[in-house]
Amino acid sequence: MTDTPLAEPEPRFHRPELGFLGWMSVAILLFWVVVVIFAPWLAPYPESTILTNQSFGPGDAENPMVFGSDYLGRDVLSRLIFGARITLGLAFTATMIAFVLGVTLGFVAGIIGGRTDDFMSRINDAFVSFPSIMLALILVSAFGSSLVLLMLTIGFIEATRVYRIARSLAQNIMVMDFVEVSRARGESIWWILRNEVMPNAFIPLSTDFGLRFTFAILLLSSLSFLGLGVQPPFSDWGSMVKENQAALNYILFYGIKVAGAPLLPAVCIFSVTLANNLLVDWNLSRSQQDISGELIS
Amino acid sequence: MTALLRINDLRIEGRRNRRSPYTPIVKGVSLEVKRGEVLALIGESGAGKSTIAVASMGYAKPGCRFCGGEVLFDGLSVLDMTLEEKRAVRGARISYVAQSAAASFNASLRLDDQITEVSLVHGVGTKAEAVERMIDLAHRMQLPNPEEIVRKYPHQVSGGQLQRLMAVMAMNARPDLLVLDEPTTALDVTTQLEVLAAFKDTIRDSGAAAIYVTHDLAVVAQIADRIMVLLDGEIVEEGATEQILHEPREDYTRKLMAAVRPPPKRSGEGSVSRDAHSDNVIEVTNIDAGYGRRRDGSIAVKVLHDVSIEIPRGSAIGVIGESGCGKSTLARVISGLLPAASGDTLLDGQPLAGDVKDRDRDQLRRVQIVMQMPDVAFNPLKTIGQALERPLEFYLGMRPDQRRQRVAELLNMVELPAEFASRRPMALSGGQKQRVNLARALAAEPEVILCDEVTSALDTVVGAQIIDLLKRLQDDLGVTFVFISHDLSTVASFADRVVVLYAGRVAEQGPTAQVLSPPYHPYTSLLLHSVPEMRPGWLEEIRETETAQLAAASVVEIGATGCPFHKRCPLAIKGVCDTQPPPVRPLPNGHQIACHREIAELGH
């Protein structure tokens, strides 16, 4: 192409379409946000009141239950609604903690480099080398599993993963020519961090945020399923699956109807994680477009 | 003899992404290649050269599709083949050599396994035969110790060797047609020469046909039988090499030829240097610099050894040498990005701190650096205006309205419209970005601008325009330029003084006309003789010389004892050059040559 100014048409920036699956995902996530915020008004019954003496039944005339009762005779629907608060709220806060911790430390290590980086990264590697569920089990058995401690535990474990991504992003951006130009100009490290590193790290990090949130939900649910997560009287989706797993034995005799109590919480976990992953994929394709100017599909 | 490859009225269209409409890229191109013939496709980037070349294998790049015409390879219609049929042809009968060999090899497999793989996959003989052909081809490609070199991994061999091994891989299954896509563009002149010669020999010996894609006319003159000039997907002109080079019929072809800078003159005449300067804006004395630190504090990889350079105010200094000679390191030392291990840098006679952090803002303002790759020189998220405003704010403390006005002036200075301020870097072409890159340096109102290979990533035509712009800026503003390049012709056309670096040491420096005329340092002589001339037959002549043969036998080695060039030097004295560092021999006008030989011996 000749270099006469304006000779080249300006490439248009196209935002990839969200598509049907994308909109479904947004709808599912919005639905859960509404449920989390308005739980007390949406739930037909209090979360821990025993309403019937029938386990895994359809309720009775006074207390009809859409999804039936659980092993103690509580309303499954109400418990799912309140469980959403615990599961999603706790996982979200834990992810926030993970990002504040992981990104700060990761950027520090990536930008300063040298021995500081070696020291921080090797310690981090030690934690990363544990499977996250095992590390969680150790920490929970050492410190206990109150809601705050669970949040901190999961936040810490995910932070070790976030740290690695933030560090390598910072390292990659710091050696780009435009950062070299800023350094040669005499800009301070803070200016470079704010103006060059942060904006360019934002989209990859936001993608990772979505994934981390999913992992946090799964980690929390696994802990609860093993009985080391959320403790009664609170309950999250993971602990609901555990409490009600006896119902799975009754399917043969009474049909699938009785299995709502253990299966529906699992479906809820599935819906949130799937919707979240679909959105992450979409965000990723957007970020690939940002770098190359073209959608990599 | 019938053509091996015949392309009739080929039409290809492409789109930027899934939502934008298709636009034509190749608009009805017809061509023929016979056995034993090399057809060169030339033109600027975006002309459709590569697209046509890969179409001969029935391949359309992502986002492209065939929309008309036919491709007949040995009578078979390639476009109508199924993927299975195409696979049988690709690699075995048509093979492809890409621009970047480094990106075409798998870094974790040994070279021999990768080279023979094609033959084995296509069942062309046994493994032993494939290995035999590989060794034979490697010999013909003049690779040193073929049996050993093929057992290495890609990162263990040099760039020029890898490019030749790439050709060995492409020819291993004895294809009938070779598609060479800018195979020497990324190489140094000296390496380019060896690779070109090897390609030419092997194509001729094997009786294959070849399509050679390039934008470099001097290269084409050496290797092609016929030339096809392309512009925007259409044929401008086609003809025998001699005819296109000497009697081009079309204006566009003449324009392409004009953009090729003539090889620097090797006689006593040449551009007369500007008036003698006594006033140096920058002085670099006895610099040692490199990367990494050992435990005792010394440098792990020492790149620059005892480099001393004077940069007179208002002049243009050219720094040349092959890759790995420390040219960019020198620019990084002067700009403070890489503090020197020892030695001083003076700005206007005042010592400059080694580290950018310890320099004051005014010192920083006076020395600006322009980076090599326009594509990564800008934060992709900021507009051109924002990128240009920052130095105005940072160094000159301008208010927002003053800055906006100044940005328009700066864009005008580099011949771009003021509207570009609101665009993002992505929306600019390479040449446009490089102009903005210069404007950003100019924004600081500097005294010295360090240009690190600013034309290397650009087309010949666009690069020539950037050089013209640099010359105009120098005349208008009196800025001092340090121009780093591996392209001797470009440097010779622009610089008042030239510094020749070899393996981190100054081999020769002085006024351009004096450096480019005898007496030469043997390395300067090698560089000068390696610049391709735009006449067929040049390659054969030059290869016969002892200089070229010795130069091809070895590569740049950092940290060699004695004179670093001794292994490649036709004048090397055994027992002296390989043990003692050479003395610096002064000549008039600050011209210096670092060599053990007497000046009188450095004739040719």
Residue A291 has pLDDT above 70, yes or no: no
Helical residues (DSSP H) of A187-259, grouped into ranges: 189-192, 198-225, 237-243, 247-254
Rounded to 10°, the helix A132-143/A147-174 angle is 140
CA distance B263 to chain A (A): 23
Residue B276 has pLDDT above 60, yes or no: no
Chain B residues with beta carbon closer than 8 angstroms to that of A11: 16, 426-427
Say which of A10, A196, A295 has its CB closest to residue B423.
Answer: A10
| Residue B458 binned pLDDT confidence (cut-offs 50, 70, 90) | confident
Contact status of B356 with chain A (Cβ, < 8 Å): yes
The answer to whether B307 and B584 have CB atoms below 8 angstroms apart is: no
Contact A290 B380 (CB under 8 A): yes
Place of tokens 């044929």: B235
Contact A293 B45 (CB under 8 A): no
Say which of B368, B376, B426 has its CB closest to residue A178.
Answer: B376
- For residue B19 the two structure tokens come to 């939502």
Contact status of B394 with chain A (Cβ, < 8 Å): yes
| Residue B443 binned pLDDT confidence (cut-offs 50, 70, 90) | very high
Higher pLDDT, A120 or A288: A120
Amino acid B406: pLDDT:
93
> Out of A14-23, A134-143, A275-284, B127-136, which region has the weakest mean confidence (pLDDT)?
A14-23
Contact status of B258 with chain A (Cβ, < 8 Å): no
**Between the ranges A63-77, A108-122, B290-304, where is the mean pLDDT highest?**
A108-122
| Residue B20 binned pLDDT confidence (cut-offs 50, 70, 90) | confident
C-alpha torsion angle, residues B108, B112, B114, B115 (rounded to 10): 150
Q: What is the DSSP letter of A257?
A: G
The whole-number average pLDDT for the span B404-426 is 90
Neighbours of B271 (CB within 10 A): 16
Looking at chain A from residue 174 to 213, which residues have their Cβ under 8 Å from any Cβ of chain B? 176-178, 180-181, 183-187, 195-196, 199-200
The answer to whether B217 and B42 have CB atoms below 8 angstroms apart is: yes
CA distance B226 to chain A (A): 23
Interatomic CA distance for residues B361 and B359, integer angstroms: 7
Contact A200 B379 (CB under 8 A): yes
Looking at chain B from residue 423 to 462, which residues have their Cβ under 8 Å from any Cβ of chain A? 423, 426-429, 431-432, 440, 444, 461-462
Amino acid A11: pLDDT:
45
Contact status of A1 with chain B (Cβ, < 8 Å): yes
pLDDT, tens only, B498-556? 999 988 889 999 998 888 888 888 888 888 888 877 777 788 787 777 777 777 767 67
CA atoms within 13 A on the CB side of B531: 22
Which residues sit opposite A170 in a β-bridge? none
- What's the mean per-residue pLDDT of chain B? 85
Q: Name the amino acid, one letter, at B1.
A: M
Residue B474 has pLDDT above 70, yes or no: yes
Contact status of B18 with chain A (Cβ, < 8 Å): yes
Among chain A residues, the shortest Cα distance to B412 is held by: A5
Q: How many CB pairs under 8 A join A and B?
A: 91
Interatomic CA distance for residues B234 and B55, integer angstroms: 15
Amino acid A288: pLDDT:
59
| Element at B27 (helix H, strand E) | strand B23-33
Amino acid B500: pLDDT:
92
The answer to whether B245 and B281 have CB atoms below 8 angstroms apart is: no
The answer to whether A57 and A23 have CB atoms below 8 angstroms apart is: no
Contact A294 B17 (CB under 8 A): yes
Chain A residues with beta carbon closer than 8 angstroms to that of B428: 8
Amino acid B291: pLDDT:
82
Q: What is the DSSP letter of B420?
A: G
Length of chain B: 604
Residue A31 has pLDDT above 90, yes or no: yes
Residue A55 has pLDDT above 80, yes or no: no
Contact B335 A184 (CB under 8 A): yes
pTM above 0.80, yes or no: no
> How do B38-42 and B226-231 pair as beta strands?
parallel
The whole-number average pLDDT for the span B102-106 is 81
The answer to whether B515 and B508 have CB atoms below 8 angstroms apart is: yes
CA distance A28 to chain B (A): 27
Contact status of A2 with chain B (Cβ, < 8 Å): yes
CA atoms within 13 A on the CB side of B493: 19
Higher pLDDT, A265 or B215: A265
Higher pLDDT, B266 or B549: B549
Q: Name the amino acid, one letter, at B379.
A: N
CATH architecture observed for domain A26-43+66-296: Orthogonal Bundle (1.10)
Residue B553: C-alpha distances to residues B55, B122, B522, B548, B566 (Å):
37, 34, 15, 9, 12
Helical residues (DSSP H) of B207-341, grouped into ranges: 217-223, 241-246, 251-259, 327-335
C-alpha torsion angle, residues B396, B401, B404, B410 (rounded to 10): -50
The whole-number average pLDDT for the span A68-94 is 88
Residue B457 has pLDDT above 80, yes or no: no
Looking at chain B from residue 520 to 539, which residues have their Cβ under 8 Å from any Cβ of chain A? none
- What's the mean per-residue pLDDT of chain A? 83
CA distance A291 to chain B (A): 8
Residue A7 has pLDDT above 70, yes or no: no
Contact A5 B415 (CB under 8 A): yes
Contact B429 A195 (CB under 8 A): no
Interatomic CA distance for residues B466 and B142, integer angstroms: 37
Contact A11 B361 (CB under 8 A): no
- Which string of b and e fits A151-175 if b means at least 16 CB within 10 Å? bbbbbbbbbbbbbbbbbebbbebbe
Interatomic CA distance for residues A197 and A104, integer angstroms: 12
**Between the ranges A153-157, A235-239, A243-247, B294-298, where is the mean pLDDT highest?**
A153-157
Chain A residues with beta carbon closer than 8 angstroms to that of B388: none
Interatomic CA distance for residues B312 and B317, integer angstroms: 9
pLDDT, tens only, A94-147? 999 999 999 999 999 998 888 899 999 999 999 999 998 999 999 998 998 888
pLDDT, tens only, A212-246? 999 999 999 999 998 888 888 778 888 888 888 88
Length of chain A: 297
Among chain B residues, the shortest Cα distance to A188 is held by: B357
Contact A14 B461 (CB under 8 A): no
- Cα B499 to the center of its chain, rounded Å: 18
- The residue among B582, B570, B450, B455 whose CA lies nearest residue B508 is B582
Contact A195 B16 (CB under 8 A): no
Higher pLDDT, B590 or B412: B412
DSSP states of A26-86:
HHHHHHHHHHHHHHHHH-SS-TT----S-TT--B-SSSB-SS-B-TTS-BHHHHHHHHHHH
The backbone region for B58, taken as left when phi is positive above 0, alpha when psi lies in -120 to 50, beta otherwise, is: left
The whole-number average pLDDT for the span B225-239 is 90
Amino acid A91: pLDDT:
93
Interatomic CA distance for residues B160 and B180, integer angstroms: 15
